[in-house]
Amino acid sequence: MINADVIVVGGGPVGLWAACELKLAGLTVILLERRDVSMAQSRALTMHGRTLEMFAMRGLAERFLAKGQAISTGHYAALDTRLDFSAFDTRYPFTLLLPQSQTEALIEEHARELGVIVLRGHEVTRITGSETEGYGVFAQHEDSEASFHARAVVGADARRSIVRQTAGIAFEGHPATLSIMMGDVSLRGLDGPPVRMVTNARGAVTIVPVGNGGTMRVIVVDPQRTHVAVGEPLTLEELSASTRHILDEDVHFSDPTWLTRFGDETRLAARYREGRLFLVGDAAHLHFPAGGQGMNVGLQDAMNLGWKLAAVLNDRAPPSLLDSYEAERRPVGAQLARNTEAQGALMTRFDAGHLALRAEMSDLLKVPEINRRLAGVLSGFDLRYPSGGLFGDTPGAGERVADRNIVLPDETTTRIYALLAGGTWLHLSFGDSAQVALPGWLQAGAVRYVTARTPKSQASHEQTQAVLIRPDGYVAEQLPTAPR
């Protein structure tokens, strides 16, 4: 039996990122993935700005930016009025079109650099044990069974999660009520911009580029075909015929690399943990893929859990810290289910009433405050964790930290996110003696202390004397400047 601190089950982007965060904190991590090779198809294409911020906190954002295509706006339910990210204080006011296969490859590269043990071709078949004695994880590998032992198990193993089943956690929600066609194809006969979103009384068609090779992703909601079971094979002619009917254009598809159907199944785990069995990503939440949120929310799950679980296993935090994972992330999963259900209703119904509702919603998105609210939800920029628990009651506690240039005492300039690259807590002072009180359990040795000032060329931190930042880039506590 092979021992590890943590076993991660599932080697998609979310499982890989969880493994990275745990390994960054010095734990022994083994990742078990049933596939022999990485998935060639890319379910997710959208990387939101908050995810890029997360990667920037580990010094990785440029790797993803070099591979993807930045789109300055986003969409809500494919409405005509686009979501505007320019109002947010961020270096990444856009979405990045990047195939999931490339995202997965880049995170796996980082995982291997850190020393994560990635074992492909290992399908986990059973998990035994308990929080007190640890967990036995058994995986089928070729013609034999491999066995592992760990103090904790993270389930990033999607819809049929064996970790969730072992934990006895209900997956609450509803099955698919309709199916939607999707294909990655070459096309001809379509003029206009590379991204097309068309909705009319005949249905809806979305066309976006997949990578830089000329392949286009075509998503079609044809009300005459939504009754077809999700598992029934999709043909190129069926996809083509529905697209031509809806667009009323002579579009021709060829060279398909992926033809599939997906549905609107929506589920949320009743709990995100049982003992030291944890759920992240699609193992915790499943939803209609609207707005490109699923992978991004899953990666944020992994970021949130990683430093907390590592702190407990390294005896740097009390076990009660793990309760905050579900307390902070399950409401995000519930909100994800709600907003994707709402978008699904707007995107899959084409009677006069729903088309009128789409027009009304599109007009409402022209109101800056409404546009910003939905843009903040989908991007993750507006997520604020509740006060109390890990946070104090000072203004700003629980909010994301924006990346800014700061000047160190030796007059070198750096960025706040660069100081988080090691995955530690950061205490940032903008006054020689200003300090924030640490939580009672947090050891000073686990915190990086930095004194800095803001450059004259940018807005100053006149409202903050000092701030304590969690490893995932949220304000734990801050000391405002006293009123003059």
Last residue of a domain, one of 344, 379, 414: 379
Highest-pLDDT range among 30-39, 147-156, 383-392: 147-156
pLDDT reported for residue 313: 98
Task: Count structural domains, the chain.
Answer: 3
Same domain? 160 vs 304: yes
H or E element, residue 251: none
Q: Which domain holds residue 414?
A: 405-480
- Whether 391 is in a domain gets the answer no
- Whether 385 is in a domain gets the answer no
Same domain? 167 vs 291: yes
Last residue of a domain, one of 229, 244, 263: 263
Mean pLDDT, to the nearest integer, of 373-402? Answer: 84
Same domain? 8 vs 116: yes
Q: Which two tokens stand for residue 118?
A: 């990635």
Highest-pLDDT range among 173-177, 289-293, 464-468: 173-177
- Whether 390 is in a domain gets the answer no
Last residue of a domain, one of 222, 242, 263: 263
Lowest mean pLDDT among 38-47, 150-159, 162-171, 301-310: 38-47
Same domain? 27 vs 156: yes
Same domain? 45 vs 161: yes
DSSP assignments along 110-140, one per residue: HHHHHT-EEEES-EEEEEEEETTTEEEEEEE
Same domain? 259 vs 208: yes
Distances from the Cα of 392 to the Cα of 319, 324, 447, angstroms? 20, 14, 17
Quick check: 397 pLDDT over 90? no
Same domain? 238 vs 294: no
**Distance (Å, rounded) from C-alpha 239 to C-alpha 471?**
46
Name the percent of the chain in helix, strand, coil, to the closest 5.
30, 30, 40
Lowest mean pLDDT among 109-113, 284-288, 393-397, 452-456: 393-397
Q: What is the CATH number for 366?
A: 3.50.50.60
- Whether 183 is in a domain gets the answer yes
pLDDT in tens, 326-370: 999 999 999 999 999 999 999 999 999 999 999 999 999 999 999
Would you tell me how many other CB atoms lie within 10 Å of the CB of residue 79?
22
pTM, entire model? 0.95
Q: What is the CATH number for 200?
A: 3.30.70.2450
Q: Which two tokens stand for residue 462?
A: 């006149």
pLDDT reported for residue 461: 47
Same domain? 47 vs 104: yes
Same domain? 313 vs 257: no
- Whether 394 is in a domain gets the answer no
Count of residues making up the chain: 484
pLDDT in tens, 26-72: 999 999 999 998 877 788 899 999 999 999 999 999 999 999 999 99
Same domain? 165 vs 270: yes
- Whether 412 is in a domain gets the answer yes
Q: Which two tokens stand for residue 62?
A: 């440029």
Same domain? 258 vs 270: no
pLDDT in tens, 315-327: 999 999 999 999 9
Q: Please provide the average confidence, as pLDDT, over all residues in the chain.
A: 93
Give the percent of the chain with pLDDT over 90.
Answer: 84
In eight-state DSSP terms, residue 380 is S
Same domain? 45 vs 104: yes
